[in-house]
Amino acid sequence: MPVGPPYTLLIIPLHSRLEATSFFLWLKQMKELEQQRDALSHGLEMVDRARDWYHQEIQGVHQRQRRSGKGLGESDHASKSLPNRASLLLDKIQEVNYCLCDFISCAERMLRPHQRLETSDAQLLSRGKDGRYQQQSMDLLKRQNHLLTKEVSKKSQRITQLEQEKTVLIKQLLEAQFQSHAQSSWNSSVFV
């Protein structure tokens, strides 16, 4: 028979219902804070891993740029496959960057007024960089808008092409039915 996780039973004598309610609310708040801390710690680990990955990719790009600069006329299989990899990754990287910018701006807007007052002067000075982040966000949104417009245009062209093919197929079907009907009526008149 499986045994559940161990638990601790804590009995605290409380003198009134109000005291019990406030103690329960305090415990609930502590649990929520622990969950928030755990989620933040996990998020920080993911951000650190992402930061390492970004640094590795930047170094790889610098190395490929140096190699491309040295052997301008040379081309190898890796450089031919690079644009495919870069274009596949670029969309995901932009999506992640957008999500991070959106998350940060949303989290900053959700700060309570008393928490805003607790921020240090150094943090307020570092927020001068927000203009740069906002510009990056705007650039990212413009690129995504351009990509989406391009994709919609391609889909629209494909829809137009399919509509034309549909029209041709319907015309061929009607002609085939007409010929079949004409042939069957001709055959019936020959047998009579």
State the pLDDT at residue 121.
Answer: 45
Tens of pLDDT, residues 135-160: 777 777 788 888 888 888 888 888 98
Report residues of the chain scoring pLDDT below 70: 1-5, 9-10, 71-86, 112-133, 185-192
The three-state secondary structure class of 119 is coil
**For residues 126 and 120, what is the distance between their CA atoms, to the nearest angstrom?**
10
- Residue 3 is given by DSSP the state -
State the pLDDT at residue 138.
Answer: 77
State the pLDDT at residue 2.
Answer: 60
State the pLDDT at residue 125.
Answer: 44
- ∠137-142-145 over CA atoms, to 5°? 125
Neighbours of 94 (CB within 10 A): 16
Neighbours of 68 (CB within 10 A): 13
**For residues 98 and 134, what is the distance between their CA atoms, to the nearest angstrom?**
11
